[in-house]
C-alpha cells in the first residue's frame, strides 16, 4: 500500500445480503479504504448445502460482497454469480460458491480463501468473514419457542424477541477486530436486521471493538420492513433491537430514506407483507441519534438504496469526522 492509499479514510462496513452489496458498489467509487465484515450465519440454498456437506462457513454473502467490490470485466462477474439450472448435484449452486469452497479446501482456511480470491478479482478493499467458523443462528420468539437456522427464522411467522448464535464463544477473525480498532468510520446495515446484521455483532469481541472505537458510527436503516423479521418496525425499533442485543447505543448517526415510494410499488410490497419503514424522527433524535434523511430509493425490479446518493452522504460524514479529528 502506497503512502497516498494509506491516508484514505478507513471505513468498515458490517452486514450481509443484497443491501450491503448495493451500498458497497457506490462506496468503492469513492476515495475510501474499505473493509467489509460479512456474516457467516446463512444456512439456506447453495450456501447451506456447501456448509453442511463440506463443513465450511457459508460462502453466499461473501461471494456477493466480493463481486460488489471487484474490479473485473462484467463477463467474469456474471460467471462468478452464475447459478446452475440443471445437473444432478449442481442445480441451484452458484459457481462463485463452488470456487470459494474449492479455494477453502486448497488453502485450508476460509478467511485465507477469501483473501486469495480478493486478489484474483482485484477487489477494491478487503472482505472479511466475521469469523472463520460457521455459526448457527437461533431466535427466541415472543411465545418462548426457539427457531433454529437463519433461513427458518423469517418463516416462523412470529415476533422475534432476540437472536443468538451457537457456539456463543466462537472466535472472531483477528483481522476484523484490528480493522474496527483502526477505523475512521463504522457502518452497520442495510440488510436483514435479525439474520444478516445482528449475527455479526453477536460474534464475541465485535460489538466491544465497535464500542471502543473512536470512529464515527453510522446505522443505515432499511427502506422496507421485512416479513417475519421486522413487521411494523419504525426506525427507532430497528435501533432498539441493536441496543437490546449489544447492551448499549452503538451509533452517532442514522441514515434513512424519507423519499416517497410510489403507490403501485407500495402495493406490490404490501402483497408480500412489507411496508415502508416509518421515520419516527422525534423518537430517534430524543434517543441521541443524529438523523440524515434523504430520498434514497431506486425502483427497478425491487426497491434498492440509491448507491450513489447513499455513498455521497457517507463520504460527507466521514470527511467531516476526519476534519474534526485533526
- Tell me the C-alpha distance between 251 and 245, whole Å: 14
- pTM attached to this predicted model: 0.94
- pLDDT tens digits in sequence order for the chain, 326 residues long: 443 445 899 999 999 888 899 999 999 999 999 999 999 999 988 999 999 999 999 999 999 999 999 998 888 889 999 999 998 889 999 999 999 999 999 999 999 999 999 999 999 999 999 999 889 999 999 999 999 999 999 999 899 999 999 999 999 999 999 999 999 999 999 999 999 999 999 999 999 999 999 999 999 999 999 999 999 999 999 999 999 999 999 999 999 999 999 999 999 999 999 999 999 999 999 999 999 999 999 988 788 999 999 999 999 999 999 888 77
Burial class of residue 62 (count of CB atoms within 10 Å of its CB; 0-12, 13-18, 19+): buried
Question: Cα(29)–Cα(92) distance, rounded to whole angstroms?
Answer: 32
* Per-residue confidence (pLDDT) for residue 272, from 0 to 100: 94
Check if the beta carbon of residue 146 is closer than 8 Å to that of residue 139. yes
**Which residue shows C-alpha cell 455459526?**
135
Q: How many other C-beta atoms can be found within 10 angstroms of the C-beta atom of residue 155?
A: 11
Q: Any bridge partners for residue 128, and if so which?
A: 37
Q: Tell me whether strands 290-294 and 136-141 are parallel, antiparallel or unpaired.
A: unpaired
Q: State the pLDDT at residue 4.
A: 42
pLDDT at 314: 97
Q: What is the dihedral of CA 219, 223, 229, 230, to 10 degrees?
A: 80
Contact criterion met (CB below 8 Å) for 160 and 139: yes
Amino acid at each position: 500500500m502506497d503512502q497516498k492509499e494509506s491516508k484514505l479514510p478507513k471505513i468498515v462496513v458490517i452486514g450481509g445480503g443484497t443491501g450491503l452489496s448495493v451500498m458497497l458498489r457506490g462506496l468503492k467509487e469513492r476515495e475510501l479504504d474499505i473493509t467489509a465484515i460479512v456474516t457467516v450465519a446463512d444456512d439456506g440454498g447453495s450456501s447451506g448445502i456447501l456448509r453442511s456437506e463440506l463443513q465450511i462457513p457459508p460462502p453466499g454473502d461473501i461471494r456477493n460482497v466480493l463481486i460488489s467490490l471487484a474490479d473485473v470485466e462484467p463477463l467474469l462477474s456474471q460467471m462468478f454469480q452464475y447459478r446452475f439450472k440443471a445437473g444432478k448435484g449442481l442445480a441451484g449452486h452458484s459457481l462463485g460458491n463452488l470456487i470459494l469452497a474449492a479455494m477453502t479446501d486448497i488453502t485450508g482456511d476460509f478467511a485465507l480463501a477469501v483473501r486469495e480470491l480478493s486478489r484474483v478479482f482485484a477487489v477494491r478493499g478487503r472482505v472479511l468473514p466475521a469469523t472463520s467458523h460457521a455459526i448457527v443462528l437461533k431466535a427466541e420468539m415472543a411465545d418462548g419457542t426457539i427457531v433454529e437456522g437463519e433461513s427458518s427464522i423469517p418463516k416462523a411467522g412470529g415476533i422475534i424477541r432476540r437472536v443468538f448464535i451457537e457456539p456463543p464463544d466462537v472466535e472472531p477473525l483477528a483481522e476484523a477486530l484490528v480493522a474496527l480498532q483502526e477505523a475512521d468510520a463504522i457502518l452497520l446495515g442495510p440488510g436483514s436486521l435479525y439474520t444478516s446484521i445482528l449475527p455479526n455483532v453477536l460474534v464475541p469481541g465485535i460489538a466491544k471493538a465497535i464500542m471502543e472505537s473512536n470512529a464515527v458510527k453510522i446505522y443505515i436503516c432499511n427502506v422496507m420492513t421485512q416479513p417475519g423479521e421486522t413487521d411494523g418496525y419504525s426506525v427507532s425499533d430497528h435501533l432498539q433491537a441493536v441496543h437490546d442485543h449489544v447492551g448499549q447505543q452503538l451509533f452517532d448517526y442514522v441514515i434513512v430514506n424519507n423519499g416517497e415510494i410510489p403507490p403501485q410499488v407500495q402495493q406490490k410490497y404490501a402483497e408480500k407483507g412489507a411496508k415502508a419503514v416509518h421515520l419516527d424522527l422525534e423518537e430517534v433524535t430524543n434517543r441521541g441519534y443524529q438523523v440524515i434523511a434523504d430520498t434514497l430509493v431506486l425502483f427497478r425490479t425491487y426497491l434498492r438504496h440509491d448507491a450513489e446518493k447513499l455513498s455521497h452522504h457517507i463520504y460527507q460524514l466521514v470527511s467531516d469526522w476526519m476534519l474534526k479529528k485533526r
